[in-house]
Amino acid sequence: MADSASDPAARAQALREQLDYHNHRYYVLDDPDISDAEYDRLLSELEQIETAHPALQTAWSPTQRVGTKPLSEFAPAQHLEPMRSLANAFDPATLSDFDRRVRETLDIKAVEYVAEPKLDGLSINLRYEHGRLVCAATRGDGEVGEEITANARTIRSVPLTLRTDIPPQQVEVRGEVVIRRAEFDALNQRRLARDEKPFANPRNAAAGSLRQLDSRITAKRPLTLFVFGVGYSTDALPATHAGVLEQLGDWGFLINERVERVDGVQGCMAYHDALIARRDALDYEIDGAVYKVNDRSAWSTLGSTARAPRWALAHKLPAREATTQVQKIVPSVGRTGVVTPVANLEPVEVGGVSVSRATLHNIDEVHRKDVREGDTVMVRRAGDVIPEVVSVVESQRPAGLTPWSMPAQCPVCGADVVRVDDEAAHRCMGGLYCPAQRMGALIHFVSRQAMDIDGLGDKLIAQLVDSERVATAVDLYHLSEVDLLGLERMGEKSAHNLIAAIADSRQTTLPRFLYALGIAQVGEVTARSLAMHFGSLQAVMEASDDDLLAVPDIGPVVSESIQGFFAQSHNREVIAGLLAAGITWPQPQSPKKADQGVLAGKTFVLTGALSEWTRDEAKAAIESLGGKVSSSVSKRTDYLVAGEDPGSKHDRAVSLGVPVLDEAGLRELLSQPAP
């Protein structure tokens, strides 16, 4: 091996070859055989040699992939052979016509095609002379494009030199530059984090990145080149298109993995259908299939129109994006009370179906995209995903449109719509009453940890709501057996049992009742803390922010949610209705001071992971009953609560004879009746 001190030129050359080899394994074969760190070490050794010996620097060195100083404008670049477009087919009939014309012109019975995905990116022309990349250009008008060589060099799947000992004198390689979907998402995340506008789609991102005057920016973008053919060559090429692609692969280019040889119209159709089925699983965007006559000697016989060759056809897939107008933006209330802005659209066909509504997710998205009623927008529908508004076509915005804002009242029930601190979502505060939330609220209300009404499942609740027998939880307590008998699969015995179960649930506890109300952010543990701290429902309902913040595990977000809930007159009416229907719990529960709780004087240590609670929740629950939580086990510890993987505290507790509780044991201890 050449040593850099004695023969820097040889060492530099050896390093370049190694780096090119590893680069190819990583970016083209997707099969690296050294670590990133090792690669970086080789690269930095090469950089050092090139810095020390400027005469050894070349444009084809792997060190040149980081970009160079910005251009003031792009130079024009004439293609040696024009870059034509493709004729399009949108239906099988056009494909059949194409195939028939090919057969007739060539006077053959059956045609072998190469079928390829039509990649949705930007085409590029790469000219290599004696195996070295000398010019890269965009398509431009097909004859003359823009020279973007510095940018192309930064793309790792673009070989700077061809991997062959006998390169053609001059060759133009053509392909599509794309950004893979996962990399696109990550790129947009990074942009959002820096307060930059995200790209509307991978194609726009690829186009914006490739046409950068500053190649150092291009270098930071995750561009990938798939090549699909040769434009011009001084040297003879293989006789078939499949052979040419294989040759290009050998030279170090990335060929799309879905390229296939197919026979006739049937083969093309089958390929097209399979491609549609796989569309969502591909990690790059495609907008069709391309069929090319495999036998290249037939290409000159078939010839070209000014626009497109007669030996190839693009079979388009239904577009997944379309532009249309936003008629109105309406807040839509979901089952959990989250209010989502939805755009009502002028119906438009996207991905093969008509779309008239698209989600805008939340108010931040509306403002970030600045979508207004009356705007023209780009809509996307991918797979089974809900259609979404991607971006506004600003150039088409009529004068006088005003920014959209979330209404202050729920469009369904009129309760306040509140955005709780830290949350992206707005919520309707009318949880107990809002018709949009009925199902969700009732399912929660009857659940085991809440009012525990046995035999009242989701399907039955849906029937009760749909038949308008039940609108709020109050109505449950006024149902009779006769009311139930009209329902599907409801016999006398089950009706009787259900009414009995509803009646039984009247006798409950304050924590259960508070939990059953379904106040956002109030889970079982918080409900218990509230009950213990305030002692009565009335006191909880009247609690001020300061009062609430004094409860162990309640912070500003939870406090705001509780106050917002009880501020709604409809919610208060439902609560009054429930009490009037006979719901009771052991009363009055006088407020518990810490030293009066059932766990007063007891010291707990928590260790390991609990499955149902966070550490803080468990701590708050223990403290709300007067217990203390300490961090280390000693003789004075009363209980060790051990979750998953408890570790050394557990061993110590066992050796000191401290009782060890599991999660169920703790739960049992906490549910002891008050003294």
Query: Closer CB to ligand IVH, residue 290 or residue 450?
Result: 290
User: 105 phi and psi, to 5 degrees?
Assistant: -60, -40
Query: Closer CB to ligand IVH, residue 312 or residue 379?
Result: 312
Residues 6+ apart with CB under 8 A from 517: 431, 432, 445, 565, 571, 575
Query: Closer CB to ligand IVH, residue 91 or residue 422?
Result: 91
- Among residues 283, 328, 64, 302, the alpha carbon closest in space to that of 185 is found at 283
H helix or E strand, kind and range, residue 209: helix 202-210
> Under DSSP, is residue 328 helix (H, G, I), strand (E, B) or coil?
strand
Cβ 165 vs Cβ 153: under 8 Å? no
To the nearest whole angstrom, how small is the minimum distance from the Cβ of residue 226 to ligand IVH?
Answer: 8
Compute and round to an integer the Cα radius of gyration of the chain: 35
To the nearest whole angstrom, how small is the minimum distance from the Cβ of residue 84 to ligand IVH?
Answer: 4
Residue nearest to ligand IVH (CB): 123
To the nearest whole angstrom, how small is the minimum distance from the Cβ of residue 288 to ligand IVH?
Answer: 8
To the nearest whole angstrom, how small is the minimum distance from the Cβ of residue 120 to ligand IVH?
Answer: 7
Query: Closer CB to ligand IVH, residue 24 or residue 118?
Result: 118
Cβ 438 vs Cβ 469: under 8 Å? no
Question: Which amino acid is present at 330?
Answer: V
To the nearest whole angstrom, how small is the minimum distance from the Cβ of residue 219 to ligand IVH?
Answer: 23
438: its two tokens: 């009925």
Query: Closer CB to ligand IVH, residue 269 or residue 439?
Result: 269
| List of long-range contacts for 408-417, beta carbons under 8 Å, 24+ apart | 410/331, 410/333, 410/339, 410/434, 410/436, 411/330, 411/331, 411/333, 412/333, 412/436, 413/333, 413/570, 414/570, 415/568, 415/570, 415/571, 416/564, 416/567, 416/568, 417/331, 417/339
To the nearest whole angstrom, how small is the minimum distance from the Cβ of residue 232 to ligand IVH?
Answer: 12
To the nearest whole angstrom, how small is the minimum distance from the Cβ of residue 116 to ligand IVH?
Answer: 4
Burial label for 606, CB within 10 Å (0-12, 13-18, 19+), is buried
Q: 463 forms bridges with which residues in the sheet? A: none
> Under DSSP, is residue 564 helix (H, G, I), strand (E, B) or coil?
helix
Triad 137, 138, 139: Cα angle to 5°: 120
Residues 6+ apart with CB under 8 A from 352: 318
Strand bridging mode 321-333 / 338-350: antiparallel
Positions touching ligand IVH (CB under 6 A) are 84-86, 116, 118-119, 123, 139, 176, 228-229, 290, 309, 312, 314
Query: Closer CB to ligand IVH, residue 207 or residue 660?
Result: 207
To the nearest whole angstrom, how small is the minimum distance from the Cβ of residue 385 to ligand IVH?
Answer: 24
Query: Closer CB to ligand IVH, residue 86 or residue 339?
Result: 86
Cβ 545 vs Cβ 590: under 8 Å? no
Residue whose tokens read 């004859």: 143
Query: Closer CB to ligand IVH, residue 287 or residue 475?
Result: 287
- The active-site residue out of 109, 118, 369, 459 is 118
Residue whose tokens read 């701290």: 533
**In the annotation, is 118 catalytic?**
yes
> Under DSSP, is residue 240 helix (H, G, I), strand (E, B) or coil?
strand
Q: If you ran DSSP here, which 8-state letter would residue 282 be given?
A: S
Query: Closer CB to ligand IVH, residue 290 or residue 392?
Result: 290
Report the distance separating Cα 441 and Cα 512, nearest Å: 14
To the nearest whole angstrom, how small is the minimum distance from the Cβ of residue 228 to ligand IVH?
Answer: 4
Catalytic residue annotation: 118
